[in-house]
Amino acid sequence: MRPLFVATLISVSVLAGPATAAPDYTATVTRIVDTHAKPAYQHLAASTADLAKTLAETCGKAGSGAAARDAFNKAVDNWQAIQHIRSGPASASDRHARIMFWPDERAIGSRQLSRFLA
């Protein structure tokens, strides 16, 4: 087993070649923001606006549950696509936790978070 491990390690180090220049972190972060974070937050903003509009239009109307549920599911899906980013606007005023625990009819998540922070 050990000779196989050593042979694999040598092969990987030979294939990897010499060390390259330091990575350009600024370009990497810019690319992540431009290709992932901004579009995902734009989708979230659009889906939550659609959710608010759908709820306003269907509130109290019989048979409107499916439309509200679909709009809510779309908003949750878009939140799941971006919820892993914990910096920037989502971190201000603890917005991340406010979104994550909504809707929480009994405010259980809020109470638990308050107890934890106390």
Q: Is the pLDDT of residue 102 over 80?
A: no
Distances in whole angstroms, Cα of residue 35 to Cα of each of 46, 48, 76: 17, 21, 20
Please tell me the least confidently modeled range out of 2-6, 25-29, 91-95: 2-6
Task: Determine the residue type at 101.
Answer: F
Q: Is the pLDDT of residue 66 over 70?
A: yes
| Segments making up each domain of the chain, as ranges | 47-82, 86-118
Distances in whole angstroms, Cα of residue 111 to Cα of each of 99, 100, 101: 15, 14, 11
Q: Do 97 and 49 touch, CB atoms closer than 8 A?
A: no
Mean of pLDDT values over 55-77? 87
Phi-psi region of 93 (alpha: psi -120 to 50; beta: other; left: phi over 0): left
Cα gap 53→70, rounded to integer Å? 13
Confidence (pTM): 0.63
When pLDDT is cut at 50, 70 and 90, the band that residue 16 belongs to is low
Q: Is the pLDDT of residue 40 over 80?
A: yes
When pLDDT is cut at 50, 70 and 90, the band that residue 2 belongs to is low
